[in-house]
């Protein structure tokens, strides 16, 4: 996809959400060679403000984007103010922009896939714990950082650590009589 089409898609999404994505995020999504060449590129975030995630993938900003808003609506009360931009394929956590306080400089939050309550569960648990549904759903959200710039600076490109030049896998095994045999798989 060429950059003019990417920018047009981003503009359309921003218009439909009535917000503007951070400039550094848009630049990353449109000009970063790895990200724009392969949307399945994965990144790691290691002990960033106490949070670690492996296999972070960024959500494509194209016609398929609204499906992500629908998916996140199950675990947030304000899906038009908490906007997903990435997820961790290893944990299932969502990474979201938080536009509840500011339409111009959103903070970043994460939603822990294992801990998040859906609205239906939050309604029943809120009654039993004598708190509001809003308070219960707020528990789905954890602060990650103040802006995309600091998040982006902490990302590490995930690399495959296997040696792709070694085409043989040598293992020890035993033959039928129990003697050690060297097996080479090609």
H or E segment to which residue 55 belongs: strand 51-58
Residue 95: closest CA among 105, 107, 104, 103: 107
Q: Domain count of the chain?
A: 1
Q: Distance between CA 97 and CA 22 in Å, rounded?
A: 9
Instruction: Please report, in tens digits, the pLDDT of each residue of the chain (186 residues total).
Output: 578 888 999 999 999 999 999 999 999 998 777 666 777 899 999 999 999 999 999 999 988 998 988 888 889 988 889 999 999 999 999 999 999 998 889 999 999 988 888 888 998 899 889 999 999 999 999 999 999 999 999 999 987 654 344 444 444 445 555 555 544 444
Whole-angstrom CA distances from 31 to 1, 61, 93, 145 are 12, 13, 25, 23
Return the CATH number at 79. 3.40.1580.10
What domain range is 93 assigned to? 3-162
Q: Distance between CA 186 and CA 178 in Å, rounded?
A: 24
Residue 149 lies in a domain: yes
Q: Distance between CA 39 and CA 94 in Å, rounded?
A: 16
CB burial of residue 18 (10 Å; 0-12, 13-18, 19+) = exposed
């Amino acid at each position: 996809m060429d950059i003019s089409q990417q920018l047009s898609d981003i503009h359309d999404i921003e218009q439909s959400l009535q917000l503007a994505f951070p400039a550094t995020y848009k630049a990353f999504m449109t000009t970063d060679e790895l990200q724009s060449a392969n949307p399945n590129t994965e990144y790691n975030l290691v002990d960033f403000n106490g949070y670690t995630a492996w296999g972070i993938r960024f959500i494509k900003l194209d016609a398929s984007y609204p499906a992500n808003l629908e998916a996140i609506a199950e675990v947030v009360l304000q899906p038009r103010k908490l906007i997903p931009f990435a997820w961790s394929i290893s944990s299932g956590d969502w990474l979201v922009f938080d536009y509840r306080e500011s339409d111009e400089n959103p903070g970043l939050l994460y939603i822990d896939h294992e801990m998040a309550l859906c609205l239906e569960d939050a309604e029943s648990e809120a009654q039993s714990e004598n708190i509001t549904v809003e308070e219960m759903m707020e528990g789905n959200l954890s602060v990650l950082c103040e802006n995309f710039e600091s998040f982006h600076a902490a990302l590490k490109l995930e690399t495959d650590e296997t040696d792709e030049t070694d085409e043989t896998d040598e293992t020890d095994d035993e033959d039928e009589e129990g003697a050690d045999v060297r097996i080479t798989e090609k």
